[in-house]
Chain A
């Protein structure tokens, strides 16, 4: 008769010798709702050696984007983010900052201690602000949390247009950078 098994998961997978049988599945994953393990029952059968399970988290991370990176700063509307892994691969749907500068990352893990890192990446700003497109991370000890992200206003730059045939002769007009 089969006995209970514990299978350690590392980077999304774990391997064990398991008797063919029907099992009730439970999980111990810090930061996640362990009752959400899916499927909750698993039949291990001859010839099938790979099984995919999912688990869900219930935390909410608010990414607040302003020009100075403070809670009271001028909000940046239209900045886009994804949840990511440490390598920068993106997951889920794109989220965008609203008129308050908030983008909501739902269903992320949290735990009082040992919470897993939540990786995220900014892919765009609103077109008028600078942004850091590298992978960032945070962790949450409570079910809701807000992080402040800075998107500084674009730096003022000067463009000088002169006549190609008359050195230093200034030209009046308009140029477009596309």
Chain B
């Protein structure tokens, strides 16, 4: 097994805090999150082919023997996206803003 560092750039922005899926032979082998520093550590087999999926984008890659640099995926802008803002309030204290947390949005059709 070989540990590699995956970074993803979409629309010229380094992606942080987003879910990432790794597939091998079209089977999901790992779900994780790119961390707040913009990278995800993946352990794979040298010479094997994998596919990453992130925010509707996918790309295949091979873990090269002896290659020690980061694996950076640069995707084109996504169509039909909205830059949305989620406001999160306390249900019992109207307009009280929740100081910190994470909201996950799971597409209905993959639940």
Contact = CB atoms under 8 A, between A and B. Distances in A.
Interface residues of A, number: 58
Interface residues of B, number: 44
A55 B90 contact: yes
A22 B81 CA distance: 13
A162 interface: no
A6 B33 contact: yes
Majority secondary structure of chain B interface residues (helix, strand, loop or mixed) = strand
* Residue among B56, B84, B99, B108 with the highest chain A CB neighbour number at 10 A: B84
Contact of B78 (A19, A38, A45): A19
Nearest to B10: A17
A64 interface: no
Interface in B61-95: 78, 80-95
B82 A6 contact: no
A4 B81 contact: no
7 contacts: A16-B83, A45-B82, A53-B86, A54-B88, A55-B98, A85-B96, A107-B91
Contacts of B97: 11-13, 85
A106 interface: yes
B103 A25 contact: yes
Contacts of B109: 1, 22
A7 interface: yes
A108 to B, nearest CB: 9
